[in-house]
Amino acid sequence: MIQIDQKEFLQDLETLVNIDSGSRCPEGIRKVAEFFKGKFETLGWVVKVHELDEKIGPCLEIYNRESSCYDVLMMGHMDTVFPLGTVAERPYREEGNRAYGPGVYDMKSGCLLAYYLCREMEKEGLLLDSSIQLAFNPDEEIGSIYSRPVLEEMIKKSRYALVMEGGRTNGNMVNQRKGIGKYVVEFFGKAVHAGVEPENGASSIHELLFRGQEVLSWAKPEIGTTINIGTVKGGIGPNTVADYAACEVDIRISTLEEGVRIVSLFDSLSERAQIPGVTIKVSGGIRRPPLDPTEKSLLFCEQIDRIKKEIGLDIGWTSTGGGSDGNFSSALGVPTVDALGPVGGAGHQTAEYMDIDSIATRSRLVYEIIKYCMSTR
């Protein structure tokens, strides 16, 4: 049975959590990357550093031996949603069975657990004939917009994908996630005095109101398609016909077919301005495909059900509207399970926490899952 040194784990977790590494804090993400680079190189593993963009930190590609077909890909992200200075306001702390701090649950503990699992399996000699790779990216919280090509190349060389995002508050794992789309719709009109010559103007705000209602009508919540207009801006005052307006739209989909439908509707939106003199510009798209359980993934879940029963874990499966990098692996046909990291809650919030006693239970679970993956070659 695998034994993780909890005291050492928590010391390392404190080091990681006390690094500000928001998606737009490249210096902090680089520090996190250097931490893991040093840890894995001590094991004799290869660590490739992919420099993606000056606005974000690097992406790490890690493996024990080079292979054209890896037994397992473990995925995690080094970024958090919190701005620079958050650590100074609320650094890592422990109270009872909980650890607190920015990114402690989402998902520095999950990345750290992946390292500890690899270290312990290396010590036990379990990886002599097996190949494992890990992807730690710097931009998951902003849609993995820079790292996606690196991730997808790694996914294509993998037999199974394990996403080390935190386990749900009840311990459940995730085997279904919605796909995510983000759009910005801009409206360009003509400004005039609203009281003197309104007939000579073209209101971008009025057009936004018309088109906004149309966009909202595309939702099909009964099959999992939801649409939210989250921000709106435009105009300089009530006595001026607005020459510019814009809105940001969030899309969630459960199937690839719905993604195709939504993309087609947005692609034609610019042709449907109702007010003469107004033009429409649409940008964005479906950033993450849905993690929709395939036949192979469901068979994988059945094996994990067997494993958790054998080790005495009473947990189940959850579907969620939030996305992860597991959406990419699922869309590429790789059996994928998510939320395998330590259990916790309040992600993206000031009260974010991780349950300390879940380090042991989660390490045992993932350890057995990896052993199963290696046994199916």
Can you tell me the distance from the alpha carbon of 266 to that of 271, in angstroms, rounded to the nearest whole number?
Answer: 10
- Structural domain harbouring 358: 6-177+291-375
CATH number (domain holding residue 332): 3.40.630.10
Residues 44 and 193 in one domain: no
Domain end point (choices 228, 259, 288): 288
Residue 366 near residue 72, CB atoms below 8 Å: no
Domain end point (choices 259, 288, 317): 288
Residue 216 lies in a domain: yes
Residues 127 and 162 in one domain: yes
The answer, yes or no, to whether residue 151 has pLDDT greater than 90, is yes
Residues 36 and 140 in one domain: yes
Residue 1 lies in a domain: no
- How many domains does the chain fold into? 2
Give 351-369 pLDDT, tens digit per residue. 999 999 999 999 999 999 9
Residues 315 and 237 in one domain: no
Residues 162 and 192 in one domain: no
Mean pLDDT across the chain: 97
Residue 117 lies in a domain: yes
CATH number (domain holding residue 259): 3.30.70.360
Long-range pairs, 218-225, Cβ under 8 A, ≥24: 218/261, 218/262, 218/265, 220/258, 223/254, 223/255, 223/258, 224/178, 224/252, 224/253, 224/254, 224/255, 224/258, 225/251, 225/252, 225/253, 225/254, 225/258, 225/262
H or E element: which one contains 63?
strand 59-63
Can you tell me the distance from the alpha carbon of 48 to that of 60, in angstroms, rounded to the nearest whole number?
Answer: 6
Can you tell me the distance from the alpha carbon of 234 to that of 65, in angstroms, rounded to the nearest whole number?
Answer: 55
The answer, yes or no, to whether residue 1 has pLDDT greater than 80, is no
Can you tell me the distance from the alpha carbon of 264 to that of 247, in angstroms, rounded to the nearest whole number?
Answer: 19
pLDDT confidence of residue 377: 85
Query: Omega into 121 within 30° of 0, i.e. cis?
Result: no
Look at residues 325, 4, 323 and name the one whose alpha carbon lies nearest to residue 135. 325
Structure tokens given for 333: 């046909």
DSSP string spanning 163-185?
E-PEEPTTS-EEEEE-EEEEEEE
User: pLDDT-derived band of residue 108, with 50, 70 and 90 as boundaries?
Assistant: very high
pLDDT confidence of residue 123: 96
Give 308-344 pLDDT, tens digit per residue. 999 999 999 999 999 999 999 999 999 999 999 999 9
Residues 187 and 96 in one domain: no
Structure tokens given for 9: 């784990």
Residues 80 and 165 in one domain: yes
Start-to-end CA distance of the chain, whole Å, equals 23
Can you tell me the distance from the alpha carbon of 283 to that of 305, in angstroms, rounded to the nearest whole number?
Answer: 42
Residues 145 and 15 in one domain: yes
Can you tell me the distance from the alpha carbon of 53 to that of 83, in angstroms, rounded to the nearest whole number?
Answer: 19
Residue partners of 5: CB distance under 8 A and separation at least 6: none
**Is the pTM for the entire model greater than 0.95?**
no
SS3 category, 219: coil
Residues 208 and 163 in one domain: no
Residues 144 and 260 in one domain: no
Domain end point (choices 288, 313, 344): 288
The answer, yes or no, to whether residue 4 has pLDDT greater than 80, is yes
Residue 280 near residue 186, CB atoms below 8 Å: yes
Residues 295 and 314 in one domain: yes
Can you tell me the distance from the alpha carbon of 368 to that of 374, in angstroms, rounded to the nearest whole number?
Answer: 10
Residue 215 lies in a domain: yes
Residue 59 lies in a domain: yes
User: pLDDT-derived band of residue 293, with 50, 70 and 90 as boundaries?
Assistant: confident
Can you tell me the distance from the alpha carbon of 132 to that of 199, in angstroms, rounded to the nearest whole number?
Answer: 67
Give the whole-number percent of the chain exceeding pLDDT 90: 99
Residues 12 and 130 in one domain: yes
